[in-house]
A and B are shown apart, each in its own frame.
Chain A
Amino acid sequence: MAAQYHHSLRFDAERCNGCMACMRACPTAAVRVRKGKAVKLMDRCIDCGECIKVCTQGVIVPLTDQISDLSRFQRRVAIPSPAMYAQFDPEVLPGVIFAALKKCGFHDVECLSRACDEVTAATEIFVGEYRGRFPLISSFCPAVVRLVQVEYPGLVSQMLPLLSPREITARDAKVRRSAEMGLPIDQIGAIYITPCPAKIVSILEHPGMKRSYLDAAIAISDLFQDLAKAVDEVGETDENMDGSETASGVSWAFLGGLPRSLPAEHTFSVAGLSNVIRILDDVEKGKLRNYCFIECHACPEGCVGGCLTVENPYVARGKAIKLRQQLPSGPSMHKEDVVRRYRNGDYLMDEPLAARPLRPLGEDISTAIIRMRERARLLSDLPGIDCGACGAPSCRAFAEDVVMGEAADEACVLAGR
């Protein structure tokens, strides 16, 4: 029996017109259209949000939180994704946005910069001391992590086992505030301002950790209107204009932000799930062994391409680069401190990442083999044009559904013509 996984997307069948756009866009073949409505296959979905980007009917609802849901916390700390700054013009400095966030229901704001610098340095140490199989793969994009767990289970041991900057920031902020204010930790809510639904899943259930240090996530797109209004009101009155955000923190908003400290000829960055899939496929075949580290993002251009942002990813990336030029360069902490914390295990995940391979065609290999033969036989009778009329994204997926008893083979309108 497959375990039930948490998800961050809900399909609202009432609104679905069965257009199949989400089914065609899904990189893991996790959508079927049955009786004219899109349905999600829970074990295949990696919460990347590609379906949200293409749906014109508003069917796919991200399960983000609203500020009003957060009154259970005495102290609400906003932790904005660096992608959030890129939604504004680069003249709007992080400090102004932080002041605006405080007008939108948060008591405090913590930026990721310091943790970004720490993780960059910790990654360098880890890569240098690592004796396992290369390349290592970045684990900061939760959609990529789940993609590996589900589709590339043999690669879980090559995922970088370090905490993400957002988790480190949440943990450190809570500990510090709890000490400063004498509040119990569970009264302090760390709320991520998120560009994508994948982060929500990593809050509900964080791979490699007992639990996430973050408590909730609010979509950038939900907050944007109120925030933009508050930014206008704040004007330029806040004294701490850069908000202690640094150039390296902002770099994490887009592709290429992380491995800059590693040797360029042995690292590269890849964004967009279809590209990530191609690269992981190569890694699995033993290619790319000469690379030490690959930065992977599910969204085009990195987090600025998340489906819960408002600015298009290319313009947003430009804005982030412009903003970066105006901020102090960092690093925001001493290397010796990072080394000490690294040795202390402060950046390591709690446990090894677990694989979550897809359910095979049969519960034992003999059954699977028989069904695989049946799939091959069916497939040779199908037209192979992946028209989608049967409600499956490809003839192969359809054949699989049939052998698993989840679709009837007469659903193909073209077979035998």
Chain B
Amino acid sequence: MAAEEFEAEYHVTGRDYANAGRVSTNIKDILKHLGIDPALMRRVAIASYEAEMNLVMYATRGKMRLVVNPGAVTIFVEDEGPGIENIALAMEEGYSTATPEMREMGFGAGMGLPNIKRNADDFEISSVVGRGTRLYIRVNQAE
């Protein structure tokens, strides 16, 4: 770990709706204590929450790693799960593979991944069907 870097890792269990959202709450708390600008903190909060909910809804298990340095806030997400067959389609607003159960809970508007991308300065996604998905989300600090 670089001298001016803070890192934290969180584990998320698929279908664990009772604890869903805790990781992003935790990340928010850390960013507030670090004095991160509220607008930037909010973008990270939205992106990390969407990513966390994707893990809970679709993956078997996964982890989220937060890295903060004076230049940026970065979140690495890695899950074991079904993966995404057509990433381009998944990135389209309104496209969703959510089950009726997920929709009942207010998810499945097909805005998750697009929302993450919209709130990130840098976003990468890769996936292997039957293995899992990885996300790289970076939000830059203002100069």
Contact = CB atoms under 8 A, between A and B. Distances in A.
A284 B42 CA distance: 6
| Interface hub of A282, A358, A361, A368 (most chain B Cβ within 10 A) | A368
A239 B46 CA distance: 58
Contacts of B68: 369, 372
A131 interface: no
Contacts of B45: 154, 284-286
Interface string B20-47: 0100110010101111101101100110
Interface residues of A, number: 25
B30 A372 contact: yes
Given A366-B70, A369-B4, A285 B24 contact: yes
A373 interface: yes
Contact of A360 (B28, B35, B49): B35
Interface string A207-243: 0000000000000000000000000000000000000
B39 A154 contact: yes
Nearest to B70: A365
Interface string A326-359: 0000000000000000000000000000010110
Contact of B32 (A360, A365, A369): A360
B140 interface: no
Nearest to A372: B6
A15 B93 CA distance: 61
Nearest to B115: A286
Contacts of A358: 32-33
A369 B49 contact: no
A365 B25 contact: no
A288 to B, nearest CB: 9
Given A369-B6, A372-B6, A285 B35 contact: no
B25 A281 contact: yes
A361 to B, nearest CB: 5
27 contacts: A151-B32, A154-B39, A154-B42, A154-B45, A282-B21, A284-B42, A285-B25, A285-B28, A286-B42, A286-B50, A287-B49, A355-B38, A357-B35, A357-B38, A360-B33, A360-B34, A361-B35, A362-B34, A362-B35, A365-B4, A365-B34, A365-B35, A365-B141, A366-B4, A366-B70, A372-B6, A372-B34
B99 interface: no
B16 interface: no
A153 interface: yes
Contacts of A281: 21, 25, 28
Nearest to A285: B49
Contacts of B5: 369
A328 to B, nearest CB: 40
B97 interface: no
A368 B24 contact: no
A362 B36 CA distance: 11
B4 A153 contact: no
A107 to B, nearest CB: 46
B126 interface: no
Contacts of B3: 370
Nearest to B38: A154
Interface string B60-88: 00000000111000000000000000000
A118 interface: no
Interface string A301-317: 00000000000000000
A369 B34 contact: yes
B125 to A, nearest CB: 19
A153 B38 contact: yes
Contacts of A154: 38-39, 41-42, 45
B46 A285 contact: yes
Contacts of A375: 33
A90 B28 CA distance: 46
Closest 5 CB pairs of A and B: A360-B35, A154-B38, A286-B46, A285-B49, A154-B42
B8 interface: yes
Contacts of B24: 285
A376 interface: yes
A308 to B, nearest CB: 31
A158 B3 CA distance: 37
A416 to B, nearest CB: 23
A281 B48 CA distance: 13
Contacts of A373: 1, 6
Contacts of B32: 151, 357-358, 360
A357 B34 CA distance: 11
A362 B32 CA distance: 11
B40 to A, nearest CB: 9
A360 B33 CA distance: 5
Contacts of B33: 358, 360-361, 368, 372, 375, 400
Interface string A193-205: 0000000000000
A355 B37 CA distance: 11
B105 to A, nearest CB: 11
| Interface hub of B5, B8, B34, B115 (most chain A Cβ within 10 A) | B34
